[in-house]
Amino acid sequence: MTDFFLFLYSNGTKFSHGFKKLFFLYCGPLSGAVADTVVFSTTLRPPASPFLSINWNFKGVNIITSTSTNITDPGYANRITLDRATGSLELRNLVLQDGGEYTLTITPDGGLQMQGRIVLNVYTPITGATIRSTAAVLIEEKSSTNLTCEASGSVSSREWMKDGHLIQAGDMISFSADNSTVFLHPVLSSSHGTYQCRVSNPVSAQTADFQLTVNYGPYNVSIIGPSAVSSGDTVILHCLAASVPPANFIWMFNGSQTHVNTSLFVIERFRAQNSGDYNCTAINMVTMKENSTVLNLRGNRVGCPVAPWLVLLPQSKKPPGLKSWLGNMKNNINLIKICMFSLCMRGFSPGSLA
């Protein structure tokens, strides 16, 4: 139930009809929902002596006239209740036809007649808000579409949003005269997302959601992974691309096919022969576009205290003092292994040094 306060005041002007005209002060028309209840409440205090008469009139029909008895129009039977002390009126089970201007006339005991007016607007609550689109498959910069917002009830306004932000008209976005349809011509990658239409009137509101899919890309192709690793490491290269639908991937190594067709390229144990250029190509099967990127992968190079090939020379060819140096390296066997790996990375083999 909604309470509306009707403020009465006298402007001190007498009319030939013998009463002072009084005005209702309110912030705009009053609003009510179909089947709901409203109360027109005055600011009058109960007088010392009861009012001689109270009359509520709507479109020329006397809803109720109260003197020593109450006379109610048959169309308002069981729908109204009058507060005899203040002149306030409760109106129940609203229908659309109840919308319009109401007039209250009060004759106090020993005073001048008072009159005021107020407007009531009645609305059907909003239900069934939906958004429909004209196109099923949209491709950026090639397709256009319209989104139409529909709802049942007394629609006063429609407000369009995308991903929670108000949509503004622009070069590629426009609206119908009643704001029920938004035109996207053409669609862009930025058009992809969730659209909302908020349908409202003064007594109710509903919001409809619609997921618009725009096929675009692939863009911003990149490979996430290291550029240098150590022998024996596990290496994971991850290819990323901005694409709707998600892109397919093709990996090449040093210009040759690898038969890896997922976003991940995994090297279980890195060896020297795994060094080189890894090329990832992302392909969108709807837009028929593709883009590529390359990552150069190399093994780490570690410096050695002496030329590492000396370790691999036959005993007869080792220079004097090497045996003593190797003896001092007993506790540095890991460093020797690293130096041997560095040697192999440069293309040497123990057999070539025999």
Q: What is the mean pLDDT of residues 94-123?
A: 93
pLDDT one-digit tens code per residue, 217-249: 999 999 999 999 999 999 999 999 999 999 999
CA distance 354 to 336: 18
Task: Provide the residue type at 110 as one letter.
Answer: G
Side by side, which strands form the sheet with 264-267? 216-224, 235-244, 264-267
Between CA 27 and CA 32 the distance in angstroms is 15
Please answer whether residues 278 and 294 qualify as being in contact, where contact means their C-beta atoms are separated by less than 8 angstroms. yes
Contact indicator for 106, 87 with CB cutoff of 8 Å: yes
Percent of the chain with pLDDT over 90: 70
Average pLDDT over residues 23-37: 73
Q: What band does 96 get if pLDDT is binned at 50, 70 and 90?
A: very high
Residue 309 pLDDT greater than 50, yes or no:
no
Average pLDDT, the chain: 83
Q: How confident is the model at residue 316 (pLDDT cuts 50, 70, 90)?
A: low
Q: State the average pLDDT over residues 129-142.
A: 93
| Token pair listed for 74 | 């048959």
Q: What is the pLDDT of residue 21?
A: 44
Contact by Cβ (8 Å): 87, 72: no
| 3-state class (DSSP) for residue 339 | helix
164 pLDDT band, cuts 50/70/90, is very high
Structure confidence at residue 322 (pLDDT): 46
Q: What is the pLDDT of residue 134?
A: 87
Residue 265 predicted with pLDDT over 90: yes
Asked if the model's pLDDT at residue 15 lies above 70, the reply is no
pLDDT tens by residue, 42-87: 888 888 899 999 999 999 999 999 999 999 999 999 999 999 999 9
Helix (H, G, I), strand (E, B) or coil at 350: helix
Q: Which DSSP state fits 215? A: B
Label residue 126 by pLDDT band (50, 70, 90).
very high
At 322-353, the pLDDT tens digits run: 455 455 444 445 445 444 544 444 444 444 33
- Neighbour-count burial of 90, counting CB atoms closer than 10 A to its CB (0-12 exposed, 13-18 middle, 19+ buried): middle
* Ramachandran angles phi, psi of 336, nearest 5°: -60, -40
* Residue 118 and residue 161 in contact, taking contact as beta carbons nearer than 8 Å: no
> Per the structure block, which two tokens stand in for 152?
């049942």
Burial class of residue 189 in the structure, from the number of CB atoms within 10 Å of its CB (0-12 exposed, 13-18 middle, 19+ buried): middle
CB of 134 closer than 8 Å to CB of 145: yes
Strand (E) or helix (H) holding 341? helix 333-345
Is the pLDDT score of 139 beyond 70? yes
Q: Which two tokens stand for residue 256?
A: 């040759």
Residue 11 has pLDDT above 80, yes or no: no
Which of 108, 123, 131, 101 has the alpha carbon at shortest distance from 34?
Answer: 123
**313-318 mean pLDDT:** 48
| Side-chain-facing half-sphere of 65: CA atoms under 13 Å | 6
Degrees, nearest 5: CA angle 74-78-83: 105
- Classify 250 in phi/psi space as left (phi over 0), alpha (psi -120 to 50) or beta: beta
Measured from the Cβ of residue 3, the count of other Cβ atoms closer than 10 Å reads 12
Q: How confident is the model at residue 302 (pLDDT cuts 50, 70, 90)?
A: low
pLDDT, residue 1, reads 45
By C-alpha distance, which of 274, 151, 142, 150 is closest to 215? 142
With beta carbons less than 8 A apart as the criterion, state whether 264 and 236 touch: yes
CA gap 209, 271 in Å, rounded: 53
How confident is the model at residue 136, as a pLDDT? 84
